[in-house]
Amino acid sequence: MRRLLVGVAVSLAAAAIALAAFAVRWVGAPLTLAEPTIELAIEPGMSPRKVAEAVVAAGAQVSPEWLFLWFRLSGDARKIRAGSYEIQTGTSPRALLSKLVRGDESLKTITFIEGWTFRQVRSALAGADGLRADTRGLTDAAVMAQLGRPGIAAEGRFFPDTYAYARGSSDLDVLRRALKSMDRRLDAAWAQRSADSPLRSADEALILASIVEKETGRPDDRAQIAGVFVNRLRIGMRLQTDPTVIYGLGEAFDGNLRRRDLTTDTPWNTYTRAGLPPTAIALPGKASLVAAVQPAATPALYFVARGDGSSHFSRTLDEHNQAVNRYQRGRQ
């Protein structure tokens, strides 16, 4: 009888060792997936068993019971985080659980470009993969109210950059991050403004920076372009900058700026109105923010595009007219 009990004990021990060895191999072996990469969505409050079932439903060819058992035995079952995940070929049950516990979500990105208008920003958000469109149907003013800035114009208020987001995130969250990023950049630039700057507020710096952004073809010219506009502001001379006119025309602009457009008054027409326009006209980047508050010291009051991305600067109207004839009308 004793020999029998010893034999049973040995057999059970051997079976336990074999089972343990199998379990160790299994948690470290790659899962078989229906596709090279599968997408897994875990909702808040989902139980470990439901998570295991979701993994299988997403395309992992594994027993949900085995997976659930592994989650439980690991001691980390309750640490699994909600989110959107990409599971790639070669992922083992151990690596899968580690990813879910870390909250290592698959992130998408969206990029806002320097010089974009808020209309272009909203268009990009509307077409972004996996981004929840909470701003759909809202006016620009309503969007700003949702962001906690009621009564503030949206134009130019979002820093141009690349933003990562998890699938299912709200477009308001992305805008909120871009808004706060612009706040930080604008505050930092304003704190470094030249002592003799004619700009009276950070908001005016943002407006001027947006104009500089649209007028700059070559980065080397940026500070000098800002210097021209600052010179004009100091002496009360109208800015006379085409991008503000184009912005004021809105959707009526067909790509061809005509002489009559320059004389058609809008709040943004800097040919018909003195000073800065009422709002920014585009997203300014960091370089344009800095140029607006630290412009180059220049005697120039005029500039004209050379046609190669650079600008020619002039002190007098006669010099400017000669440059226009040379670079835009082909006259020497």
pLDDT number for residue 10: 47
Residue type at 232 in one-letter notation: R
My answer on whether 313 and 217 are in the same domain is yes
Confidence (pLDDT) at 211: 98
Type of residue numbered 149: R
For 11-50, what is each residue's pLDDT tens digit?
454 444 545 555 678 898 999 999 998 888 888 899 999 9
- pLDDT tens by residue, 236-288: 999 999 999 999 999 889 888 999 999 999 999 999 999 999 999 999 999 99
pLDDT at residue 23 in the model: 66
Residue at which a domain ends, from 70, 102, 134: 102
pLDDT of residue 274: 97
Residue 9 burial (CB count, 10 A): 10
Q: What is the pLDDT of residue 332?
A: 53
In this prediction, residue 52 carries a pLDDT of 96
Q: Last residue of a domain, which of 186, 206, 237?
A: 186
Pairing of strands 37-42, 311-314: unpaired
CATH number of the CATH domain containing 80? 3.30.1490.480
Predicted confidence at residue 161, as pLDDT, reads 95
In whole angstroms, what is the distance from residue 110 CA to residue 175 CA? 11
**169 closest CA partner among 106, 88, 101:** 106
Q: Is the pTM of this model over 0.85?
A: no
Please tell me the distance from the alpha carbon of residue 320 to that of residue 303, in angstroms, as a whole number.
7
CB 310, CB 218: distance < 8 Å:
yes
The vertex-289 CA angle with 300 and 226, nearest 5°, equals: 5
Residue 332 within a domain: no
Strand-pairing partners, residue 132, are 170
Please answer whether residues 100 and 80 qualify as being in contact, where contact means their C-beta atoms are separated by less than 8 angstroms.
Answer: yes
Contact 175, 147 (CB under 8 A): yes
Domain count, the chain: 3
pLDDT value of residue 8: 47
What residue ranges of the chain have pLDDT lower than 70? 1-23, 330-332
Do residues 195 and 310 both lie within one domain?
Answer: yes
CA distance 311 to 313: 6
Domain that holds residue 52: 2-102
